[in-house]
Amino acid sequence: MRVDIWSDVVCPWCYVGKRRFETALAMLPKRGDIEDIEVVHRSFQLNPAAPVGETSSRREMLRSKYGLTPAQVEAMDARMQETAAVDGLEFHLGAEGRTGNTAHAHALVHLAGERGVQDAVVERLFRAYFTEQRSVFDDESLVALAAEAGLDADEARRVLRDGTYAAAVRADGDAARALGATGVPFFVVDNRYGVSGAQPVEVFVKTLMRAKSPKG
């Protein structure tokens, strides 16, 4: 059984959703139920219009996008950090946080899929951005993070330079929108069941069990 997960590496709910999904996998009744599930991470850019390689204030972006005051954004970040902590994640969403175009980060996720280390690279990028405040926009920072997760640094650098997976990143976004996804995280289980958002663990468990049931 295959599970496709659309996400963006700068989306806090995507990291929370990933962890809740993983918790659900661990709760499946038989070990074999976990081993025969293939997880494929797919690309979805929240801000594809942002210039590649440039960054801007994350909090200013949130203020502009949602019409919030600085105090409201600060409070929203605090709530997000508390939510993440419940799921075992350490978020640091300070005023110094940056945001930008994630096309190159997604390109490395595609490369990682071909090299068998996709989940490790996705996890590394999430942790770098939300816990360590490392850049997921600068190419050299991305290459270093990818290498830490198991990719060859020279190959990762070459992929970014040549735009090898640019079309694949765009195609993933198009596929998500064709399925009706307007945001992320977005999960498709067994090409039959969709789960939108970072739903509670129980929702993921029920969906996975339903997909694995002979009656489906």
Mapping DSSP to helix (H, G, I), strand (E, B) and coil, where does residue 198 land?
coil
Q: Strands 2-7 and 98-100, how do they pair?
A: unpaired
* CB of 161 closer than 8 Å to CB of 111: no
Give the DSSP letter string of 157-184.
HHHHHHTTTHHHHHHHHHHHHHTT--SS
- Cα separation, 128 vs 9, in Å, equals 10
Longest CA–CA span in the chain (Å) reads 52
**Token pair for 37:** 């599930």
- Cα separation, 68 vs 201, in Å, equals 30
* CB of 169 closer than 8 Å to CB of 104: no
Q: What pLDDT does residue 36 have?
A: 84
Q: Per residue in 71-84, pLDDT tens?
A: 999 999 999 999 99
Q: What pLDDT does residue 31 have?
A: 55
* CB of 156 closer than 8 Å to CB of 146: yes
Q: What pLDDT does residue 137 have?
A: 97
Q: Per residue in 23-32, pLDDT tens?
A: 999 998 765 5
| Amino acid found at 124 | R
Q: Strands 38-43 and 2-7, how do they pair?
A: parallel
Q: What pLDDT does residue 10 have?
A: 98
Q: What pLDDT does residue 6 have?
A: 98
Task: Write down all domains in the chain, each with its CATH number in brackets.
Answer: 2-212 (3.40.30.10)
How much is the pTM?
Answer: 0.95
Q: What pLDDT does residue 212 have?
A: 85
List b or e across 161-177, with b for residues whose CB sees 16 or more CB atoms inside 10 angstroms: eeeebbebbeebbebbe
Q: What pLDDT does residue 29 have?
A: 78
Nearest CA among 159, 160, 186, 157 for reference residue 172: 186
Q: What pLDDT does residue 213 have?
A: 82
Sign of torsion over alpha carbons 48, 49, 54, 56: negative
Which residues of the chain have a pLDDT value below 50?
Answer: none
Number of residues assigned to the chain: 216
* CB of 118 closer than 8 Å to CB of 40: yes
- Cα separation, 82 vs 42, in Å, equals 27
- Backbone φ and ψ of 170, nearest 5°: -65, -40
